[in-house]
Structure 1
Amino acid sequence: MFKLGVLDQSQVGEGRTASDALKETTRLAQEADKLGFSRYWVSEHHASRSLAHSSPEVLIAHLASATSRIRLGSGGVMLPHYSAYKVAENFRLLEALHPGRIDVGLGRAPGGMPIATRALQEGKYMHIDEYPQQITDMIGYLHDSLGPDHRFAGLHASPAIDTAPEMWLLGSSGESAKIAARLGLSFGFAQFFGTPGGEEAVRYYKDNFRPSPLNEKPYALAAVLAVCADTEEEANRLATSTDLFFLRLEQGLELSFFPSVETAHDYPYTEYDLQRIRMGRHRRIVGNPDQVKARLEELAEQYQADELLIVSPIHNFAARLHSYRLIAEAMKL
């Protein structure tokens, strides 16, 4: 049986503030801890008014202190913006504070618009082709395994600890799957992005995985969007907020908030808009507990996933908590 975790993007609900969203993230992490979810990951987004956090390392520290059992991690750190050495030190410190509970998920997407990327990389030369080297450097820093020929041979990433955070490569294409397979890392695919080729990427990863000191066997997860309610009708009603949010994002017109059901209901959709929404729904899981359970099991099999991360964007926070509770109950966590 596959495991279930949580992916949280801390969306700022219409009529609420970023501080409100972060309080909701903390409350949800505590509930996920009690319900038996395996891990709780937070994402990295820049220059967005509708998403409340841009620094997963800072938020992980807060959430780990507010919970007791669940693993906390990044979904993920956008490594090309940063020094691999500094990222390794950040996560070593988190691991020292909360041994055995920290994941470092790494990605290479920009996490924002080009202007944010320019600001993040101001005065720095970095080419995307260097990303595989950054991953190799991260392994060396986190596991004190830099070779004698490494350009920084003998360098230590503080603090000195006996354990290391779990390391993951994340992606929405096949390229990260290839790197993860070659280096023997765990791999996560963002299914809810809607990028095609996910099943093939995971299949390639598992078929070509090379055992490493980090992992003897391949381990893959998929991040999926699921909205669960007591009835299918109510789940579909709650999911209209997600429909509108992603429609606007697809059009390059990101909202400055996550819309309420009422705003979504009153939006002046064109026929083409409605067609795009219907097409988007096929990659999302919306329904009552039995329907969601069946679809999660189907997706886990399709993706050969050892684990699924559930992102459940719902404007009403009580309904969002209820969605995760229903999923946990249906999946017998």
Structure 2
Amino acid sequence: MLSLGVLDQSPVGPDGSAEAALRRTIELARLADRLGYSRFWVSEHHNARSLAGVSPEVLISAVGAHTSRIRIGSGGVLLPHYSPYKVAENFRVLEGLYPGRVDLGIGRAPGGLHLVSQALRNGAPLSGDERLPELLKELAAYLEIGRPLGPDHPYRELEATPRVGTAPEVWLLGSSGFSAALAAQFGAGFSFAHFINGEGGQDAVRYYRKHYRPGPFGSRPQVSVCVYVLCADTDEQAEWEAMAMDLRLLANEKGEFRRPFPTPEEAAARPYTERERASIAKNRKRMIVGGPQRVREALEAFAESYGAEEVLVVCGMSDFRLRLRSYQWLAALFPNSSERHFR
């Protein structure tokens, strides 16, 4: 049976309040926990007024304090910006607080503009893709799920604390085949970001499964796919809400991250060029939109195309009440366990 998880980006609503966005993340996590979703991941974005989720480690801690069963994690920590030692210590703390529930999802995207990358690294050069395998080896060593650092490594005598009895589950996140190859090499789970790139994901997953080898991060392949889902009471209501997401994605393509989530009314009143309409049509490949019956059929076909046992959903509604309703509908359509109920 298809398992559903949640990726939440803490979107800033039309009210423009980042504080409210963070409170809504906690409210959504509590709902997802109660409805029986498999996991709840939070993202990392910087210099974007439209998204309040800039520090996944802090948010994970808050989410863990307000939930009891659901797995909690990052979707994901942008490892090239950070010391593997510090990432290991952060997630050892989280694992100590919430043992057996923590996912360490790792991304390699910049997370913002070039200036953001410079600021996060305090002016140091950004680690390129060629260094990512080295960073992953260090991370595995500090988490004590990989080989110790070699005798010539400058940090070989360091120990990542606190000493806790469990380690987080490690996933590599990506929107291309590069992360799939690394995940297969290191034995990590692989989560494809279909909500970022609506093309090529099935090939990346097939490559991952074919080339998977047990490694420091795991002993069996695990696949999830993340996609925008807008489920409403009717197809018409879902399509109305999707117009706001269309406009938001257009703004993102233009680098306009410093504005709140638009409303459907704003999107409906805006004139579009032919080029923009073509972009909207392309972006719809990243979304599943409709009433319950349409969404159920589309989501089943989507998961089957990937051969994925789990789908993480981002319900991109401008109205938070409708966003909650969307997750409730999905829980009713795809019950993971007897704990789920629809209110």
* TM-score bracket relative to the smaller structure: over 0.9
The aligned residue for residue 50 of structure 2 is 50
Which SS does the other structure have where 2:25 is aligned? helix
Q: After TM superposition, give the deviation of residue 214 of structure 1 in Å.
A: 3.9
The alpha-carbon deviation at position 99 of structure 1 amounts to: 0.4
Q: Does the Cα contact within 8 Å between 1:35 and 1:325 map onto a contact in 2? A: yes
CA change 1:115–1:134 in 2 (3 A) is same
CA contact (8 A) 1:248 1:255 kept: no
The answer on whether the counterparts of 2:49 and 2:259 sit within 8 Å (CA) in structure 1 is: yes
- Higher mean alpha-carbon deviation, 168-177 vs 151-160, is at 151-160
User: What residue is the counterpart of 2:181 in the other structure?
Assistant: 178
Instruction: Note closer, same or farther for the CA distance 1:268–1:58 as it changes in structure 2 (3 Å cut).
Output: same
2:236 maps to 1:238:
no
Q: SS at the partner of 2:195?
A: helix
The amino acid across from 1:187 in the alignment is: F
Alignment of 1:139 onto 2:135: no
Q: Classify the secondary structure of the residue corresponding to 2:7.
A: strand
- Which residue of structure 1 aligns with residue 325 of structure 2? 322
Q: Deviations over 1:205-256 (max 9, x none)?
A: 0000002354222101110110001110000011111000001111333351
Tell me the amino acid that sits aligned with residue 310 of structure 2. Answer: E
> In structure 2, how many angstroms separate the alpha carbons of the residues matched to 1:202 and 1:145?
24
Q: Aligned with 2:136: secondary structure?
A: helix
Partner AA of 2:189 in structure 1: S
TM-score (norm 1): 0.96
The corresponding residue for 2:335 is: 332
Secondary structure in 1 aligned to 2:69? coil
Q: Per-residue deviation at 1:291? A: 1.1
Q: 2-side partners of 1:330 and 1:318: how far apart? A: 18
SS state at 2:139 partner = helix
The answer as to 2:309 corresponding to 1:306 is yes
- Alpha-carbon shift at residue 306 of structure 1 (Å): 2.0
Match of 1:276 in 2: 279
Sort the Cα spacing of 1:2 and 1:178 in 2 relative to 1 into closer, same or farther, 3 A: same
Partner of 1:41: 41
- Check the 8 A contact 2:118/2:126 in 1, yes or no: no
Structure 2 equivalent of residue 90 of structure 1: 90
What is the distance in 1 between the residues matched to 2:87 and 2:258?
31
The one-letter code matched in structure 1 to 2:122 is E
Q: Greater shift after overlay, 8-17 or 42-51?
A: 8-17
Match of 2:67 in 1: 67
- Post-superposition Cα deviations, 1:135-167, rounded to whole Å, max 9, x if no partner, equal 111111112644362513342110101100111
Secondary structure in structure 2 of the residue aligned to 1:192 = coil
Which of structure 1's runs of 4+ aligned residues deviate more than 4 A?
A: none
- Counterpart amino acid of 1:139? A
Give the 5 Å matches for 1:160-179.
Answer: 160-179=163-182
Give, in whole Å, the separation in 1 of the partners of 2:173 and 2:145: 23
CA distance in structure 2 between the partners assigned to 1:46 and 1:223 by the alignment: 20
> In the comparison of the two structures, how many residue pairs are matched?
333
Taking structure 1 as reference, are residues 249 and 163 closer, same or farther at Cα in structure 2, changes over 3 Å only?
same
Distance in 2 (CA, whole Å) between partners of 1:317 and 1:127 is 37
SS of the aligned residue for 1:282 comes to helix
Aligned counterparts of 1:278 and 1:145: Cα–Cα separation in 2: 44
CA contact (8 A) 1:144 1:156 kept: no
1:63/1:72 contact within 8 Å kept? yes
**Offset at residue 123 of structure 1 (A):** 4.1
Matches of 2:219 and 2:70 in 1, distance apart? 23
For the residue of structure 2 that corresponds to 1:7, the secondary structure is strand
Q: 2:156 aligns with which of 153, 157, 180?
A: 153
What is the 5 A alignment of 1:246-265?
246-254=249-257, 256-265=259-268
1:224 to 224, 227, 233: 227
Residue 210 (structure 2) aligns with: 207
State the distance in 2 between where 1:138 and 1:325 align.
37
- Pick from 264, 288, 293 the counterpart of residue 290 of structure 1: 293
Letter in structure 2 aligned against 1:261: P
Contact 1:173-1:195 within 8 A present in 2 as well? no
- TM value normalised by structure 2: 0.94
User: Does residue 115 of structure 1 match 2:118?
Assistant: no
Match of 1:78 in 2: 78
Identity in percent: 48
Would you say the 8 A contact 2:117–2:126 is kept in 1?
no
- Which deviates further from its counterpart, 298-307 or 184-193? 298-307
For 1:277, the aligned partner's letter is I
Deviations 1:72-101 (A, max 9, x none): 100000001100000000000000011011
Structure 1: gaps spanning 5 or more residues: none
- Give the Cα–Cα distance (whole angstroms) in 1 for the partners of residues 294 and 246 of structure 2: 19
Structure 1's 144 and 326: CA in aligned 2 closer, same or farther, altered over 3 A? closer
Residue identity in the other structure for 1:162: G
